[in-house]
Structure 1
Amino acid sequence: MPHSATDGAASADLRITPLVTLGPFAEPLRAEAEMWRVDFVRRLFEDHATGANRFDRPGERLLGAWHGARLVGVGGLNRDPYVADDGIGRLRHVYVLATHRRLGIGAVLVRALLREAEGHFRVVRLRAASAEAAAFYRRLGFQESAEPNATHLIPVTPLR
């Protein structure tokens, strides 16, 4: 189900939609991340191609952020593979093209993923890749975590 941009400066023509494949439309994301050596985006594409992670288990979702006809961001929600508790989700591989950062797109994408988590997970965890990413997630309400394999977490309100 598409989500519309309603946060901050994100433009009205931003759409958030589920992604089932990572076809040629996603190549600019892969190429930019490779240029900047962003390893988690490389893993996203590799794991999707091999079937190691296609975000297709119950509660999981891969979302794309579209500005017009261009894919400008991506992010996923998995069952957290680092814990044996199906009530814990993990935010993964959130990436927005450099030309589209600081426009609110990442926040819209993360909030859409958290809405997807409702009814599936009690908590969503993540590992921030940088101090800048950690600050971004704190602004969105994530709390710092001392748990192994997670730098931040946020409780998720289950659907009733």
Structure 2
Amino acid sequence: MTVDIRVIRDRLPREIADLESEARQEGHLHISRVIAGWSAGDLRFERDGERLLGAYVGKALAGIGGLTIEPTLSGALRMRRFYIRPEIRRHGIGRMLALALLDHARAFCSIVTVHAGNADAAKFWQALGFRLYERDGDTHCLEILPHIPSGRPHDVSG
């Protein structure tokens, strides 16, 4: 399975509606929040260090994940709006997406936080090296060492 990680900017991909529908069926509203925030102009992942990535398998959007400025911890970023389609979980796509975001984060901060919404998500983040944090709405954090990224994902303009 070939996975292509792309930067999402300018506009959300049309395929995000399918992700939203699947997430809602699972009881998750964070993709709806991405769409609402983007539409309102409140959250476009465009401040310093912020980024929204899409993981594509073929032409299909398999998942998304983003980084935003962490509002409760100076100089940190927060992993947000992370979602992988249920039928392709456990194939390493979420890991690839998270590692691409962490690689990007290294140029901007030394700490990344996340709020794991459930036990499976907590296990996922812990497998990536995040440790329990439980402060200011976050559940986990990761201290990262800075380095120069070796490659950049493709830009997506819609």
Per the normalisation by structure 2, the TM-score is 0.89
Of residues 44, 47, 53, the one that matches 2:43 is 53
CA distance in 2, matches of 1:23, 1:65: 11
Deviation of residue 94 (structure 1)? Answer: 0.6
Question: Unaligned 5+ residue runs, structure 1?
Answer: 1-10
Of residues 141, 144, 149, the one that matches 2:129 is 141
- The structure that is strand-richer by fraction is 2
What letter corresponds to residue 111 of structure 2 in structure 1? V
Deviations 1:82-140 (CA, angstroms, capped at 9, x unpaired): 33x1x100000110001110111000000000001011011000100001100111011
What letter corresponds to residue 108 of structure 1 in structure 2? M
Q: Once superposed, which parts of structure 1, at least 4 consecutive aligned residues long, lie more than 3 Å away?
A: none
CA distance in 2, matches of 1:31, 1:80: 27
Of residues 54, 66, 73, the one that matches 1:64 is 54
Q: RMSD in angstroms over aligned alpha carbons?
A: 1.2
**Percent of counterpart pairs with the same letter?**
34
Per the normalisation by structure 1, the TM-score is 0.87
CA distance in 2, matches of 1:25, 1:130: 25
Q: 2:20 is paired with a residue of what secondary structure?
A: helix
Matched, 1:18 2:7: yes
CA distance in 1, matches of 2:72, 2:28: 21
Deviation of residue 148 (structure 1)? Answer: 2.1
What letter corresponds to residue 27 of structure 2 in structure 1? R
Match of 2:114 in 1: 126
Match of 1:100 in 2: 88
Match of 1:82 in 2: 72
Question: Unaligned 5+ residue runs, structure 2?
Answer: 149-158
After TM superposition, the structure 1 stretch with the greater mean CA deviation from structure 2, 94-103 or 26-35, is 26-35
CA distance in 2, matches of 1:49, 1:82: 25
Deviation of residue 42 (structure 1)? Answer: 1.4
Higher RCO (CA 8 Å, separation ≥ 6 residues): 2
The count of residues paired between Structure 1 and Structure 2 equals 147
